[in-house]
Amino acid sequence: MSEANTLLMHPSRSVGADLQAWIKVGGGEGLLAALANAGNIINTLRDANLAGMGGAGFPSWRKWEAAAAATGSKGDKYIVCNGNEDEPGTFKDRYLLAHTPHQVIEGMLIAAAAIGANHVVLYINPHQTESIAAVSAAITQWQGSGLMGKLESFLGKPVHLKLVQTSGRYIGGEETAVVSWLDGGFPFPRRKPPYPAESGVDGQPTLINNTETFANVPHILRNGAEWYRNLGKGEASGTKLYSLSGDVLNPGLYELPMGTTLHDLIFVHGGGMLEGRAFKAVFTGGPSNTLLTAADLDVPLDFASVRARHSSLGTGAMIVISEGTSVVRKVAEYVEFFATNSCGQCPPCKGGTFQLARLLNRIDSGVSTEDDLRALQSLCRLLPGSGRCALIDGAVTVTQSSMRTFPQEYGLESEEAQ
C-alpha cells in the first residue's frame, strides 16, 4: 500500500475481524451518527459525491434513494454487498473483506438504516477463502452486539446478517445474476427494468453495492461530506483503490486520492516499469475496457476524466504492458476469459465471444487472412447490445480499442481500424 490515508486501509491494518479493535479506532461512530439523523444519510452521500466503485461510477445515493422509496409486498428489504470479484487484474474487494471486514459491514448497516432494510447479505466468491473466514468471524461478533441492538431498535425489527457464497462464476457479479443466485436459481442475468432496487431478492427492494462502496460509508457519516470530497484531487472526491499489475516494479493495491494521474500511479507509486522495459499501454478498469497509451499518462484517474478519454476507470484495475508485448495476444487472452465465463443463455454472446477469441488467436499466430480481419470488424459492429448483460460489450470494447490504438499489430491501416 502506498500513501494510504485514514479512510480505508490505515486504521484497519491491525484490526482484522476484531470488532472491539475496530471500535477503538472509531468504528461504530458512523453508524451512531447515521442513527441519530437517519433522514439525512442519503443527502450526506449525495453531498459527498460518493460513486459506486464496482465499475460504472454511478452516483451511490441514487440507488439508495430508489431503494428507500420502494415498498415490498412482504415488508422486507435487502442490502447486498457484491464481493464476487473475479475479473483478471482486480483484487481490491478481497483485501477489504479479508483485512477490514468491519468497515464494510458497518457501511451495510448504515444502508439498512437509510432504506429500512432487515436483511443484510455479504455475497462473496468461494475462491476467496481468507475473505470468507474473516467475514464469518466478523458477522459472529456483530450479531448480538450493542451496535446491532441499536440498529434493530431503530428499525423496530430484527436484522438478519449473513454470508452467502457466490457461484464462483464471473457472470455471478452482474447485479441481476446476484438476485437470481440469492433466490436459489442459476446466476443468469436478466433484462432491466425492473431494477433490483424496485424488485430484487424474493421480489423485494434490494440495494446492491460493491464492497469498496460500502467501505467508504462509515467514514463519510463519521467525518462529513466535505471531508470526503476534499480527499480527492481536482474535481474528484474521495480516494480510490487502484489494483496495479503487469510490467511494473511494484505491483499491488494502492489507496490514493481519486484523480491521481496514471503517470503517478505507475511511475511514482508503482516504481515504474520493469528494468529494461518501456511503457506501451495499460488496460484500464480491467480487461473489459479500452487501452490508454503514453499520450494518456497525464489523465487523472477519476470516472469523469477517464471517460473523457473514451475509456473507463471501471474497478480501478490497471494492467500495464511493455513494449515487446503483443497487444493481440493479451486481448485474445481476455476475450477467451469472457468466452469461458459467458453464462450461455444469449447465443450471440456465447457464440460471439468464442468467434472473437478464435479470430484473435488466428491473427496472433500469423495465419489469419483478410477475411478474418473483416470478420472480426464485422462482429465488433454486430454484437454490442445483443446480450442481457454487458459481457459481450466488454469483449467487443477491448477488441475495438486494441484495433484502433494498435492497428499495425492487426495488419491494418489506421483508417481501416476506425
pLDDT at 412: 83
List pLDDT tens digits, range 265-311: 999 999 999 999 999 999 998 888 899 999 999 999 999 999 999 89
Q: What one-character-per-residue DSSP string does 348-387 give?
A: HHHHHHHHHHHHHHHHHHT---HHHHHHHHHHHHHSTT-S
The span from the CA of 234 to the CA of 220, in Å, is: 19
Average pLDDT, the chain: 93
List pLDDT tens digits, range 334-353: 999 999 999 999 999 999 99
Q: Is the pLDDT of residue 9 over 60?
A: no
**Averaged pLDDT for residues 30-44:** 97
| Single-letter code of the amino acid located at 149 | G
pLDDT at 417: 57
The span from the CA of 34 to the CA of 103, in Å, is: 14
The span from the CA of 347 to the CA of 386, in Å, is: 9
Q: Is the pLDDT of residue 63 over 60?
A: yes
Grid cell of 53 as nine digits: 466503485
List pLDDT tens digits, range 74-83: 999 999 999 9
Torsion of CA 255, 261, 264, 267, to 10 degrees: 110
Separation of CA 310 from chain center: 19
**Averaged pLDDT for residues 140-163:** 97
**Which structural domains are found in the chain, ordered by start?**
10-229 (3.40.50.11540), 239-322 (3.10.20.600), 327-410 (1.20.1440.230)
- Whether residue 227 contacts residue 206, with contact meaning beta carbons closer than 8 Å, is answered with no
Separation of CA 181 from chain center: 19
Phi and psi angles of residue 237, each rounded to the nearest 5 degrees, phi first: -120, 145
pLDDT at 55: 82
Q: Is the pLDDT of residue 57 over 60?
A: yes
Using 50, 70 and 90 to split pLDDT, how confident is the model at 8? Answer: low
The span from the CA of 170 to the CA of 191, in Å, is: 18
Instruction: Kindly report the length of the chain.
Output: 418
pLDDT at 6: 42
DSSP label of 274: P
Q: Is the pLDDT of residue 183 over 90?
A: yes
- pTM above threshold 0.85: yes
Grid cell of 6 as nine digits: 485514514
The span from the CA of 209 to the CA of 197, in Å, is: 11
